Amino acid sequence: MDGEKPRVILNEFKITKNLPSSFTDAFDMKKFKKLFKVVIVRREAENYEIEFDLIGIHPALANTFRRLMLSDVPSMAIEKVHMHNNTSIIQDEVLAHRLGLIPLKADPRLFNFKVPGKKEGTEHDTLEFELKIKSSYNKEANKKDSSRAEDIYKNNKVFSKHIKWIPIGNQKEAFKDKDVGPIHDDILIAKMRPGHELDLKLIAIKGVGKDHAKFSPVCTAFYRLHPHIKLLREVEGEAAYRLQKCFSAGVIDVKEEPNGRKVAVLRSARYDTGSRNVFRYDDLKDAVIMSRIQDHFIFTVESVGALQPDEIFIEAVTILKNKCRSMLDELSTL
């Protein structure tokens, strides 16, 4: 079956194709409907990670979905910092930048984009936080005669857990305390010494990744083509182990036959990195054909944590769909 699929073959010195490219054919909705398939392979909700396959899709469309996830799906991030007091050694602008990069837990779908030019935010487009912290000597612990900063000082490190959410308007009813705030408690923001003080008001708004990377909802969103490996002849004995080592772990198995012969067999090419180590061995390079299936995209999406990665993909496709719709509406008035 895989023989019929368009593949790029990775030869020793060149790249060839098994079929003339099918991507130049006219786009046919019926054919797309018939051939297009989505397969979810791995979904780790607790790690905010998903791996899924889009099969039978044009690379331009696959790339569009990737680009949308990176730079068009919105999320919330700190955009403005009011410095009431900052006597720490970290400069105002550096501190503000660090705060902006802290991932926030808040469903961006429940907020509106702030209207540009409007000064005051409302409960529908803004989240407000407060960071008030002061460092001092730790009197009782110092009796232990320790020289560790943690023992001598109080609040010598400012972490993201010190950021406090201040609900505005009806936000207290609309959101629970655990739904809003930094995703990670242990992000180091600044280090302080006795007498240093921070008194900040943080204002978070909804934005998109093309404006600033801090608004991007994904850590990574990438795709790769599904690798395909074919063993052309039997490889046995020491050569079988050598062949196994040429590929990523789990790609080639060495199976022992009843008569004691050890033979290399293909288990799964999916997680092969496409390393070209086989071509180092003259006796092995004619035993395999390495290739990639041209319309089989393996997407890996890792979320920052505000949304589940499957929700991010759904959002991305919905954004493109709505874009088309609004363009069509405008075209009819043109």
Partner 1 sequence: MPIAQLAGSGSDDSAKSKTFVFNDEGHTLGNALRCIISSYPEVQFCGYTVPHPAENKMHFRIQMYNGRAVDALRKGLEDLEEVCTITLDRFQAELENFTGS
Token pair 């397969």 is at which residue?
39
Q: Which helix (H) or strand (E) holds 126?
A: strand 126-134
CA distance 86 to 196: 8
Q: Which helix (H) or strand (E) holds 311?
A: helix 309-333
> What are residue 110's phi and psi, to 5 degrees?
-90, 0
Per rule CB under 8 A, is residue 325 in the interface with partner 1? yes
Per rule CB under 8 A, is residue 300 in the interface with partner 1? no
Per rule CB under 8 A, is residue 113 in the interface with partner 1? no
Among 48, 52, 223, 297, binds partner 1 (CB under 8 A): 52
Among 6, 8, 51, 67, binds partner 1 (CB under 8 A): 67
Per rule CB under 8 A, is residue 223 in the interface with partner 1? no
Is 54 or 99 the residue whose CB approaches partner 1 more closely?
Answer: 54
Using an 8 Å Cβ cutoff, are 294 and 6 in contact? yes
Residue 290 burial (CB count, 10 A) = 24
Per rule CB under 8 A, is residue 310 in the interface with partner 1? yes
Angle at 198 between CA 194 and CA 202, to 5 degrees: 160
Among 4, 20, 27, 233, binds partner 1 (CB under 8 A): 27
Q: How far is the CB of 36 from partner 1 (least distance, A)?
A: 6
Q: How far is the CB of 53 from partner 1 (least distance, A)?
A: 10
CA distance 217 to 17: 36
Spell out a b/e string for 178-195, using b for 16 or more CB atoms within 10 Å of the CB, else e: eebbbbeeebebbebbee
Per rule CB under 8 A, is residue 149 in the interface with partner 1? no
Choose the binding region for partner 1 from 155-163, 215-223, 237-245, 315-323 (rule: CB under 8 A). Answer: 315-323
Per rule CB under 8 A, is residue 37 in the interface with partner 1? yes
Per rule CB under 8 A, is residue 47 in the interface with partner 1? no
Using an 8 Å Cβ cutoff, are 31 and 58 in contact? no
Per rule CB under 8 A, is residue 213 in the interface with partner 1? no
DSSP letter for each residue of 25-56: SPP-HHHHHHH-EEEEEEEEGGGTEEEEEEES
Q: How far is the CB of 118 from partner 1 (least distance, A)?
A: 19
Number of residues near partner 1 (by CB under 8 A): 42
Q: How far is the CB of 64 from partner 1 (least distance, A)?
A: 4
Token pair 């999916």 is at which residue?
270
Say how many Å lie between the first and final Cα of the chain, rounded.
48
Choose the binding region for partner 1 from 37-45, 85-93, 100-108, 273-281 (rule: CB under 8 A). Answer: 37-45
Choose the binding region for partner 1 from 3-11, 124-132, 234-242, 309-317 (rule: CB under 8 A). Answer: 309-317
Q: How far is the CB of 41 from partner 1 (least distance, A)?
A: 9
Among 1, 60, 115, 232, binds partner 1 (CB under 8 A): 60
Is 39 or 213 the residue whose CB approaches partner 1 more closely?
Answer: 39
Is 122 or 318 the residue whose CB approaches partner 1 more closely?
Answer: 318
Per rule CB under 8 A, is residue 265 in the interface with partner 1? no
Cβ neighbourhood burial of 13 (10 Å; 0-12, 13-18, 19+): exposed
CA distance 48 to 57: 25
Q: Of 25, 41, 204, 197, which Cα lies nearest the Cα of 113? A: 204
Using an 8 Å Cβ cutoff, are 75 and 111 in contact? no
Is 1 or 331 the residue whose CB approaches partner 1 more closely?
Answer: 331
Contacts with partner 1 by CB under 8 A lie at 24-27, 29, 32-33, 36-40, 43, 52, 54, 58, 60-61, 63-65, 67-68, 71-72, 210, 310, 313-314, 317-318, 320-321, 323-328, 330-331, 334
